[in-house]
Amino acid sequence: MIILDTDHISLLQHRSNPEGQRVERRLAASLDRDIRTTVITVEEQMRGWLAVVARYRDPRQQMDYYDKLIAFIRFLSTWAILPLRESAVRAIQDLRQARVRIATTDLKIAAIALANQAVLLSRNLRDFEQVPGLRVEDWTRP
């Protein structure tokens, strides 16, 4: 199983950039066809879009951002999304007990990847490489 972190998902949403194209090509060539993201990534993306919409009071200013939110929801509808389950909650507790110091959302994503024995794709190697046993790769690099 391959899990895409929020940054890799964002790149795939904007396929015109070289990094997004590189990720897309590598995913297409991968022998592992079980490619997913997490509910944590969905949460992060939704919070971001809702914050942008909330910045504006004038509905005319919000129109384009609502359209982008709709496009994001359509994009997400094509993805398998992994939930946060008990096995991941236990992994979070174990990582906290081991004093792994990364952002809470990253900790949850790492725990879901660990619980599913998956490879996590992320540009955030500095943080995710602190997680014992986590297989993490950055597919944006040539």
Under the banding of pLDDT at 50, 70 and 90, the label for residue 76 is very high
pLDDT the model gives residue 14: 81
C-beta separation of 3 from 135 below 8 A: no
Query: Which CATH fold topology does 2-37+80-137 show?
Result: Rossmann fold (3.40.50)
Tokens 């396929």 found at: 15
Domain residue limits, the chain:
2-37+80-137
3-state secondary structure the chain: CEEECHHHHHHHHCCCCHHHHHHHHHHHHCCCCCEEEEHHHHHHHHHHHHHHHHCCCCHHHHHHHHHHHHHHHHHHCCCEEECCCHHHHHHHHHHHHCCCCCCHHHHHHHHHHHHCCCEEECCCHHHHCCCCCCEEECCCCC
pLDDT digits (tens, 9 = 90+) for 79-119: 999 999 999 999 999 999 999 999 999 999 999 999 999 99
pLDDT digits (tens, 9 = 90+) for 9-62: 999 998 788 999 999 999 999 999 999 999 999 999 999 999 999 999 999 999
